[in-house]
Amino acid sequence: MLGRVQHPDRDVTLGARTSHRRLPFEDPTSLQKRTFPRAGYLRGRRSCENNRVNPWIIASPAVVAAVAGLTAYGAVHPGSQLFGPTIRHTASPRDLAITFDDGPNPAMTPKLLDLLQRSAARATFFLIGRYVRECPDLVREISARGHTIGCHTDTHPNLLFAGPRRIHDELLRGSDAIASVTGALPKWFRPPWGFRNPWLAPATRELNLRVVMWSVLPSDWRAPSAAWLIDRMQPISTRASANAKQANATGDILCLHDGYHARQNGDRTYTLAALEHCLPRWRDLGLKFATIDQAVTPPA
């Protein structure tokens, strides 16, 4: 006896040699609907290669890259004025401003002071506030010998990612440490590693500090020898000879280190030896060794 079983997807006759199943794909209309649900949408439209594309979708990565590059330039390059005015040259091609960062360092700063005195040279020392508090007598000696003292923050942080409050506090504490020893607030500031961000300029304006960068950075902190460092400072001699007869030329600001920001008593023997070699040769070229106070034109 034959019987029939109902099923949502099929109708099967029991006992027959064959069974007949009516499935959706047997209907051509159903096949089109199931396989190509967007066929109606695509019918009569142009291919994707001819469709209009929002240009901002293409341009956005390039814009982001350009902004990132500009920000990096403004934050790091010593000549950038993007995050506030900076000084990186002396006003005269005959003036060479020798500057030292990361002191005072009892293991090296006194030796540099003696060398500068023998050479009748003046320099600028950008001091870290916490080391000023540790070595007040050395700070007084720097000032007594006629050198200029500038602020190099209180703890030498990376200001690139610092917020406005942290930046203001670092500059204020570093400046106050110097003033408590010398009796005068510094007028000059050098950011650690030269890194700046948009919040540095408001802080320096409020504290009456001018930002000093450099034109020559020979990386004396990683010098493998004095000879290596002497070679890295050769551009000073080259420019001194080339600019001697140019009335509108400017001079160099040399950035060296008498200390090490992470701890006291850092070894700067190669810096001392390289300077001992170069100072008389620079003088023979007609260069004068000036502090930032002496070498930079005051703002109008």
| Predicted confidence (pLDDT) per residue in 261-293, tens digit | 999 999 999 999 999 999 999 999 999 999 999
Classify 87-295 by CATH class: alpha beta
pLDDT value for 278: 98
* Percent of all residues in the chain with a pLDDT value above 70, rounded to a whole number: 72
| Mean pLDDT calculated for residue range 166-194 | 98
Give the residue from 172, 268, 170, 259 showing the smallest Cα distance to 223: 268
Euclidean distance between CA atoms 243 and 160, whole angstroms? 34
Domain map (residue ranges) of the chain: 87-295
Going by pLDDT thresholds of 50, 70 and 90, the confidence category of residue 60 is low
Active site residues: 101, 257
Torsion sign across C-alpha atoms 228, 106, 171, 100: negative
Q: Is the dihedral of CA 12, 18, 23, 29 positive or negative?
A: negative
Q: Are 155 and 120 in contact (CB under 8 A)?
A: no
Mean pLDDT of 1-11: 47
- Residue 244's pLDDT is 73
d(CA 78, CA 171): 19
Separation CA 276–CA 108 (nearest Å): 14
Please say if the pLDDT value at position 220 is more than 80. yes
pLDDT of residue 16: 43
Neighbours of 34 (CB within 10 A): 11
Is a pLDDT exceeding 70 seen at residue 51? no
Judged by average pLDDT, the poorest of 44-53, 82-91, 241-250 is: 44-53
Task: Decide: 69 and 61 in contact? Cβ < 8 Å.
Answer: no
Q: What are the respective helix, strand and coil percentages of the chain, to the nearest 5?
A: 45, 15, 40
- Supply the pLDDT for residue 297: 75
d(CA 228, CA 36): 72
Residue 25: its pLDDT value, please?
47
Determine phi and psi for 260, rounding to 5 degrees.
Answer: -130, 125
Q: Give the residue, 57 or 179, on which the prediction is more confident.
A: 179
Q: How far apart are the first and last CA of the chain?
A: 114
